[in-house]
Amino acid sequence: MKEFKNETKCLHSGYEGTNGNPRAIPIIQSTTFKYDSSEDMADLFDLKTNGYFYSRLANPTNDYVAQKIADLEGGVGAVLTSSGQAASFYSIFNICQSGDHIVSSSAIYGGTFNLFAVTMKKMGIDFTFVSPDATEDELNNAFRENTKAVFAETLANPALVVTDIEKFAKIAHAHKVPLIIDNTFATPILCKPIDFGADIVIHSTTKYMDGHGLCVGGVVVDSGNFDWEKSGKYPCLTEPDESYHGLTYTETFKNAAYITKMVAQLMRDLGSIPSPHNSFLLNIGLETLHLRIQRHYENAIKIAKHLEHNEKIEWIRCPALESDKNYDLAKKYLSGKSCGVISFGIKGGKEKSVEFINKLNLIAIATHVADAKSCVLHPASSTHRQLTDEQLDKAGIPNNLIRLSVGIENVDDIIADIDQALSSI
Ligand SMILES: *Cc1c(COP(=O)(O)O)cnc(C)c1O
């Protein structure tokens, strides 16, 4: 399906019903797959043939949907995970171990920050956080001998900073490590990070891909472009794996080594798989992704322009606004558009911000974003409350920041709700 455009891939990639079989992706709700001989089974366990034997490692429904996302992102393969958090963890842990180091943008999702700075640190993996605006020199200085990857978000949640992916890729590659990009907010409809040099792309599919607030999930996509052998830093991929009788991933699976190892090792040992039923629901979301993203954007930019000159608003962020500090980056990486999430600060600080969101009716207070239904959050008092004021600043989140996830309702109804709440504070 590589030759088709986004809209067509959203509907057709990943699964093609054969003669007389279902046109919709079937839900293969089975833990187990049966075989005629133990030799058939042995070949699967040795990774000598392709096939399914146990859904902790792989399941056909999950794989159809993963392949659709791989196709949309322009990758050679993908794996669905049970959450976006699992995808972030797998994307890094697949190529590093205790004693290693990662360079990460500081403008990342709060949950990812906790995963990196607290939980993975306990596992002996160190992170250096760099500003997304860091110069090439500053980025270079963050590297160590044991650095194994660079991590950033295309369009950061909730800071809405657009990452200069080409700059990050160039520096990562100069140090012989891959760039991992979390493309959750942009989706492949607005940006395909692989086109700009990213090697691995991940998503929380919980957000726009699902789009209806139904299922928590994630995905890791392998571009197939990173040369693990040439880098020389990844014996886990280029030297024999004892748990598979000395198989070497790069030798056997070539440019799908990274993604194959993720299934063969991490899924086998950690098992963060989504249920096939959730993947089925995710696929329904994917089929309309291109329509929804366009409407999310149209509604969001109208609301941003409406609020831009409101006297009760101190500042507003939407990278598609010409006045936005990242407008040039948005033009380069998001075709001048943005997602449905905008953020703004209410004059009067934290107190007025909380008062404002309490007055909203149609727009719900929810920890969720990137959903068909509009919702709102005050990160400093909810998702990011573990962060100190200094860490909040570093992540680009002032304490009066309100994150508004603009849905696909009629935009006039959303604006009316915002206006009545603003006028009552
Ligand atoms: C929500 C989110 C995550 C975590 O995903 P879950 O599906 O909630 O585990 C990771 N990255 C970004 C950018 C997110 O918005």
Q: Can you give the pLDDT at residue 1? A: 64
Ligand 1 atom at minimal distance to the Cα of residue 370:
15
pLDDT band for position 350 (cuts 50, 70, 90): confident
The CA 154 to ligand 1 mean position distance, Å, reads 13
Side-chain-side CA neighbours of 224 within 13 Å: the count stands at 13
Strands 147-153 and 101-105: parallel
With the most atoms of ligand 1 within 8 angstroms of its CB, the residue from 115, 157, 210 to mutate is: 157
pLDDT tens, residue by residue, 285-302: 999 999 999 999 999 999
Ligand 1 atom at minimal distance to the Cα of residue 205:
7
The CA 51 to ligand 1 mean position distance, Å, reads 30
- Res 50 pLDDT > 90: no
The CA 106 to ligand 1 mean position distance, Å, reads 15
Smallest Cα–Cα separation from 53: which of 70, 32, 74?
32
- For residue 127, the SS3 value is strand
- Res 2 pLDDT > 70: no
Q: CA 316, 73, 9, 285 torsion: positive or negative? A: negative
Q: What residues have CB less than 8 Å from 39, skipping those under 6 apart?
A: none
Averaged pLDDT, 326-336: 98
Ligand 1 atom at minimal distance to the Cα of residue 88:
10
- Both tokens of 392, joined, read 């909040």
The CA 226 to ligand 1 mean position distance, Å, reads 25
Q: CA 327, 329, 332, 335 torsion: positive or negative? A: negative
pLDDT band for position 214 (cuts 50, 70, 90): very high
Q: Can you give the pLDDT at residue 77? A: 98
- Res 394 pLDDT > 80: no
Pocket of ligand 1 (CB under 6 A): 83-85, 88, 109, 111-112, 153, 157, 182, 184-185, 204, 206-207, 216, 218
pLDDT tens, residue by residue, 86-142: 999 999 999 999 999 999 999 999 899 999 999 999 999 999 999 999 999 999 999
- Res 13 pLDDT > 70: yes
The CA 221 to ligand 1 mean position distance, Å, reads 15
- Res 395 pLDDT > 70: no
Q: Can you give the pLDDT at residue 245? A: 87
Percentage with pLDDT > 70 across the chain = 99
The CA 156 to ligand 1 mean position distance, Å, reads 11
> pTM of the full predicted structure?
0.96
With the most atoms of ligand 1 within 8 angstroms of its CB, the residue from 119, 184, 371 to mutate is: 184
With the most atoms of ligand 1 within 8 angstroms of its CB, the residue from 183, 204, 205, 405 to mutate is: 204
pLDDT tens, residue by residue, 366-378: 988 999 999 999 8
Ligand 1 atom at minimal distance to the Cα of residue 206:
7
Cβ proximity of 161 and 107 under 8 Å: yes
With the most atoms of ligand 1 within 8 angstroms of its CB, the residue from 109, 180, 216 to mutate is: 109
* DSSP states of 343-410: EEEETTHHHHHHHHHHH-SSSEE-S--S-SS-EEE-GGGTTTTTS-HHHHHHTT--TTEEEEE--SS-
The count of other CB atoms within 10 Å of the CB of residue 269 is 10
Lowest mean pLDDT among 193-197, 339-343, 382-386: 382-386
Ligand 1 atom at minimal distance to the Cα of residue 369:
15
Q: Can you give the pLDDT at residue 390? A: 81
Ligand 1 atom at minimal distance to the Cα of residue 218:
7
pLDDT band for position 380 (cuts 50, 70, 90): confident
Atom 1 in ligand 1: which residue has the minimum CA distance? Answer: 204
The CA 109 to ligand 1 mean position distance, Å, reads 7
Atom 8 in ligand 1: which residue has the minimum CA distance? Answer: 84
- Both tokens of 89, joined, read 């963890």
Atom 5 in ligand 1: which residue has the minimum CA distance? Answer: 84
C-alpha to C-alpha distance for 261 and 328, rounded to whole angstroms: 38
Averaged pLDDT, 406-420: 98
The CA 348 to ligand 1 mean position distance, Å, reads 30
Averaged pLDDT, 18-45: 93
Q: What residues have CB less than 8 Å from 267, skipping those under 6 apart?
A: 56, 57, 58, 79, 273
* Mean of pLDDT over the chain: 95
Atom 4 in ligand 1: which residue has the minimum CA distance? Answer: 84
Averaged pLDDT, 299-318: 96
Atom 12 in ligand 1: which residue has the minimum CA distance? Answer: 109
pLDDT tens, residue by residue, 158-176: 889 999 999 999 999 999 9
Averaged pLDDT, 226-240: 98
The CA 35 to ligand 1 mean position distance, Å, reads 38
Cβ proximity of 366 and 385 under 8 Å: no
